[in-house]
Amino acid sequence: MNPVVLVGHRHVCPLHGTNQVESGSATYTFNGRAVARVGDRTTCGAVIESGAEHFLIEGAAVARKGDRTDHG
């Protein structure tokens, strides 16, 4: 499995360039940072659309490095 995405991790958007993941789980953290899931956003407004469907947090698949957003 690819590495899990956390709030603050870098995201390279094909429409807006480099930005960061800005939202994640309110209850599940790793190394003090919220874990990002399908439905969470980046600072450019992209929404995470794919994730590890076998690993759910608060009913949403956990985002991994390389997963898709609605910006590409």
pLDDT on residue 1: 78
pLDDT digits (tens, 9 = 90+) for 3-32: 999 999 999 999 999 999 999 999 999 999
**DSSP code string of 9-36:** -EEEETTTEEEEB----SS-EETTEEBP
Does residue 36 have a pLDDT over 90? yes
Q: How far is the CA of 66 from the CAs of 13, 26, 27, 58, in angstroms?
A: 11, 22, 23, 21
Does residue 47 have a pLDDT over 90? yes
Does residue 60 have a pLDDT over 90? yes
- 19 is written with which tokens? 């930005």
